[in-house]
Amino acid sequence: MEKHVECLELLAMGKDLPQELATYAFRAMYTGEMPASCVGAFLMGLKTKGESAVEIAAGVTTALEEARLVAGLTGARIDTCGTGGDNTCSFNCSTAVALYLAAMGHKVVKHGNRAVSSSCGSADAVEALGFTLVVEPDQAATELDKHNFVFLFAPNYHPAFKRIGPIRKELGVRSLFNLMGPLLNPARPTHQLLGVPTARHVRLMAEVLALTGLPCGAVIHGAGGFDELTPFGPATVCWLRDGWLKNDRIDPESLGIPTHKPAEVVVSGRDEAVAVLREVLAGKGNQAMRDMVALNLGCALHLLEDGLTLKQGVAKAQDAIASGTAAKFFKDVLHA
């Protein structure tokens, strides 16, 4: 029996694939050795059964074998990214967080794409702000040194996904690739703040991050069904440090953040999303958006800065936002 058929048989019985077999299947899919009909069946088999951490990790590891990786980076570097799929049409909080982090002296390697389920994807947002969208792997380090920030446009780094794209489109349903996107950063961050669309994905994705070697991170699902921390109520979180995982809960009120309503962070389209993002970067805009950025920025600072508590991180974030630190730091780019 061919191995990819063996995979389908196991999935049909509702059984998780062992690491070796999962690695084989994903590798065959990325290289084109697996027939298109089997690719569709494989993805649907995983979705129906429910993907395991080992299976997702195998998908990530083998995808990175085919990716155009960024070499030569040293030191701490963070990505702030959600899986998407929460269908909330909210403003670009993770992009604002990334730019504030860079303005505060941290190295940010932001991996992202154009809009799928949101009003304006991270790629759409950074392009509209004036940042370079297409950065070649050998240019990434220079760009990062220049601004403490580089945007890595996903399609430019993952050519193997061009083979799978048409099949995913024909399937027309979400698959594990929607979860994998934030895990495929070609600059291999040392720290990551990862948002997921449901609470049941929190521990699962933290396990995947541990299996794929991330040293330090947090996987979060916010109140209101958001793939970010929100000022609407307590969030589910799983902390990761050196392979150890810890389930937790984050209550914004305990961090000095008042309660807001989800409708206050919704944008209607790209133009409004970019205008709102510019306001937030300058320390303006509505309070709900500023508070949402403060929560996520504070969490990222807590991950990056040894000895900084989460509450201290949020307070530090609030000060940076009140000062419009990001707009000042990126004034040459944002005014271009």
Mean per-residue pLDDT over the chain, rounded: 91
Residue 134 has pLDDT above 90, yes or no: no
Q: In the block, which residue shows the tokens 């979705």?
A: 47
Q: In the block, which residue shows the tokens 């929607």?
A: 178
CATH match of 78-332 with 1.20.1250.20: no
How far is the C-alpha of 298 from the C-alpha of 36, rounded, in Å? 44
Helix, coil or strand: residue 244: strand
* Residue spans per domain, the chain: 3-50, 78-332
Residue 122 has pLDDT above 90, yes or no: no
How far is the C-alpha of 77 from the C-alpha of 1, rounded, in Å? 44
Q: Please report the pLDDT score of residue 313 as a whole number.
A: 98
Q: Please report the pLDDT score of residue 84 as a whole number.
A: 67
Q: Please report the pLDDT score of residue 116 as a whole number.
A: 55
Residue among 1, 2, 10, 7 at smallest CA distance from 23: 7
| Model pTM score | 0.94
Q: Please report the pLDDT score of residue 335 as a whole number.
A: 64
| pLDDT tens readout for residues 277-321 | 999 999 998 999 999 999 999 999 999 999 999 999 999 999 999
Handedness of CA 175, 181, 183, 186 (dihedral sign): positive
Tell me the two tokens of residue 139: 């240019």
Residue 118 confidence class, pLDDT cut points 50, 70, 90: low
Residue 82 confidence class, pLDDT cut points 50, 70, 90: confident
Helices first, then strands: H and E counts in the chain: 16, 7
Residue 68 has pLDDT above 80, yes or no: yes
How far is the C-alpha of 319 from the C-alpha of 297, rounded, in Å? 11
Residue 111 confidence class, pLDDT cut points 50, 70, 90: very high
